[in-house]
């Protein structure tokens, strides 16, 4: 084990005891200390699920990337495992960037982007992103002596030698595959597909897909998997221009449903769709569970809107893992069913009729900052309705549905921010027989919305003081609410 890795492990072990546990989220994964971003290595290993993540333990902003590590048996309770990788070799001294993992012959194989940056005599920097392998036992991982195992010279001529990152490894029968993001000669994104018999010696197979300048530039953090008779490609484009109410944030996560020509290594995709419409969602990664479910987790933070309070010694969290299904070509997302095992203190309010004259109405037992709440709202006689969350008179975050426009909006303008940040996001939502179903997960600072049984998702941060735990409902016209709320206790 290297000095750098020892240092990181000792630091996180000591600092995690100094951070108040009540400051952390309850059922969202957070770091022991420091900064985290992209989920990495989401995989099943020896009967447990491991999640690594981009990690800088020594501060609350991005720094030389390590791999932090936690594991779980049910996607809700997470156990800290010591830091897995540190930038401690010549080829990855500037960072162990994003990657993935797979189990093979009792070992856990990590594949990651290794970053090299050297100052040249002429004052310029020589930067290279290559792909490396580390193999371990679920706790300790050893980098291969032959690293890096894939260099940019394996790409088609003209491809970028700098932007080549985020390998997604998987195994089919006797062959390993990896799809890796890079840039074509014209500066647009492409996904290179590689194969290997042993996860050490790799051969370029094809360009799985290329964006041709459409949907941003570099396609970061690709994930590619079969689902319900089709193949799904998830990518997180950089520098993407908004179109209507879709593809905001500049750094987005989108998905395509299509078919995979395995012989030629080509993906034939359909139309791009937004994966999440919120203000804080990026770089998702999936795993196949032992019972055959496809489960996804994403980084619950934005590159361009840094909201972490100054007094915090940690920054970043992961979404609740979500089960994925396909329905009519659309990706359906819902919180993993294991969350239901932690529901307590059910409060049900049925046939609650609200009109504009009621103003903001609170209901007995409906409050809190750590909860799972489902609303069925009949809007046939309403013009709009609003759910007021994390409220105490000074602070509030609202979720509003405009019946005439058919739009749902999250607005955190008054959640307590003291900087000029993006504070609202809107998406189109269809009514179902005059009704809207809205599932609200609130975990202190995390707000995840799932609309109409997972047809759409909207994820955002709100760093509101925890004392603001009121919830109220209002409408224009007349709306009828059925509400079921649970506390989540882990």
Distances (CA, A) of 350 to 6, 84, 303, 363: 56, 49, 41, 11
pLDDT of 161-209, one tens digit each? Answer: 899 999 999 999 999 999 999 999 999 999 999 999 999 999 999 999 9
What is the homologous superfamily of the domain 343-488 according to CATH?
Exo-inulinase; domain 1 (2.60.120.560)
Instruction: Report the predicted TM-score, pTM, of the whole model to 2 decimal places.
Output: 0.97
Over 90: is that where the pLDDT of 104 sits?
Answer: yes
3-335 topology per CATH:
Tachylectin-2; Chain A (2.115.10)
Calculate mean pLDDT across residues 124-138: 93
**Where residue 418 falls among pLDDT bands split at 50, 70, 90?**
confident
pLDDT of 363-379, one tens digit each? Answer: 999 999 999 999 999 99
pLDDT of 204-234, one tens digit each? Answer: 999 999 999 899 999 999 999 999 999 999 9
- The whole-angstrom separation of Cα 50 and Cα 455 is 27
- Specify the domain boundaries for CATH 2.115.10.20 within the chain: 3-335
The fraction of the chain above a pLDDT of 90, given in percent, is 93
Confidence at residue 101, expressed as pLDDT on a 0 to 100 scale: 98
Catalytic residue among 38, 88, 443, 469: 38
Those residues whose C-beta lies under 8 Å from the C-beta of residue 123, and which sit 6 or more positions away, are: none
pLDDT of 287-329, one tens digit each? Answer: 999 999 999 999 999 999 999 999 999 999 999 999 999 999 9
Look at strands 34-45 and 314-315 and give their pairing. parallel
Over 90: is that where the pLDDT of 99 sits?
Answer: yes
Concerning whether 38 is annotated as a catalytic residue, the answer is yes
- The whole-angstrom separation of Cα 362 and Cα 151 is 59
Confidence at residue 330, expressed as pLDDT on a 0 to 100 scale: 97
More confident residue, 251 or 137: 137
Please give the mean pLDDT across all residues of the chain: 96
Confidence at residue 119, expressed as pLDDT on a 0 to 100 scale: 76
Closest of 185, 232, 227 to residue 210, by C-alpha? 185
**Residue 221: is the preceding peptide bond cis (ω within 30°)?**
no
pLDDT of 387-398, one tens digit each? Answer: 999 999 999 999
Tokens standing for 31? 């770091």
Q: What is the DSSP letter of 153?
A: G
Report the residue count for the chain.
Answer: 490
Confidence at residue 123, expressed as pLDDT on a 0 to 100 scale: 76
**Where residue 125 falls among pLDDT bands split at 50, 70, 90?**
confident
- Specify the domain boundaries for CATH 2.60.120.560 within the chain: 343-488
Confidence at residue 265, expressed as pLDDT on a 0 to 100 scale: 96
Distances (CA, A) of 359 to 354, 355, 365, 397, 474: 9, 8, 19, 16, 6
Sheet of 107-119, strand order:
96-104, 107-119, 125-136, 141-143
- The whole-angstrom separation of Cα 60 and Cα 64 is 12
């Amino acid at each position: 084990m290297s000095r750098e890795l020892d240092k990181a492990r000792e630091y996180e072990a000591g600092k995690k005891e100094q951070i108040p546990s009540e400051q952390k989220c309850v059922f969202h994964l957070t770091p022991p200390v420091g900064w985290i971003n992209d989920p990495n290595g989401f995989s099943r290993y020896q009967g447990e699920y491991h999640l690594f993540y981009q990690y800088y333990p020594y501060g609350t902003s991005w720094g030389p990337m390590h791999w932090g590590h936690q594991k779980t048996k049910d996607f809700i309770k997470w156990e800290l495992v010591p830091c897995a990788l540190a930038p401690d070799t010549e080829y990855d001294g500037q960072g162990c960037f994003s990657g993935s993992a797979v189990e093979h012959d009792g070992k856990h194989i990590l594949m990651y982007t290794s970053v090299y940056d050297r100052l040249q005599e002429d004052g310029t920097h020589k930067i290279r992103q290559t792909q490396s392998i580390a193999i371990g036992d679920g706790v300790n991982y050893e980098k291969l002596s032959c690293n890096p195992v894939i260099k940019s010279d394996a790409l088609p001529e003209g491809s970028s030698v700098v932007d080549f990152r985020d390998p997604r490894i998987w195994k089919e029968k006797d062959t390993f595959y990896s799809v890796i993001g890079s840039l074509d000669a014209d500066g647009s994104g492409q996904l290179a597909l590689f194969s290997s018999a042993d996860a050490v010696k790799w051969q370029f197979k094809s360009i799985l897909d290329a964006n041709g300048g459409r949907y941003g530039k570099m396609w970061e953090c690709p994930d590619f998997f079969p689902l319900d008779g089709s193949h799904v490609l998830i990518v997180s484009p950089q520098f993407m221009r908004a179109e209507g109410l879709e593809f905001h944030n500049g750094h987005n996560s989108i998905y395509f449903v299509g078919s995979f020509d395995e012989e030629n290594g080509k993906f034939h995709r359909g139309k791009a769709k937004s994966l999440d419409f919120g203000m804080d969602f990026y770089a998702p990664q999936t795993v196949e569970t032992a019972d055959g479910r496809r489960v996804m987790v994403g980084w619950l933070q934005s590159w361009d809107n840094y909201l972490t309070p100054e007094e915090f010694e940690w920054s970043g969290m992961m979404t609740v893992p979500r089960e994925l299904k396909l329905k009519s070509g659309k990706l359906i997302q819902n919180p993993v069913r294991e969350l239901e095992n932690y529901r307590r203190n059910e409060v049900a309010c049925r046939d609650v009729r609200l009109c504009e004259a009621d103003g903001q109405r609170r209901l007995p037992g409906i409050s809190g900052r750590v909860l799972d709440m489902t609303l069925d709202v009949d809007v046939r006689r309403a013009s709009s309705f609003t759910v007021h969350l994390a409220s105490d008179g000074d602070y509030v975050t609202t979720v509003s549905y405009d019946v005439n426009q058919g739009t749902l909006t999250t607005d955190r303008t008054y959640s307590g921010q003291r900087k000029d940040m993006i504070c609202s996001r809107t998406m189109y939502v269809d009514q179902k027989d005059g009704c809207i179903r809205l599932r609200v997960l609130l975990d202190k600072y995390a707000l995840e919305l799932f609309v109409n049984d997972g047809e759409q998702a909207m994820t955002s941060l709100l760093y509101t003081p925890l004392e603001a735990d009121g919830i109220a409902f209002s409408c224009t016209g007349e709306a009828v609410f059925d509400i079921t709320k649970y506390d989540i206790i882990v």
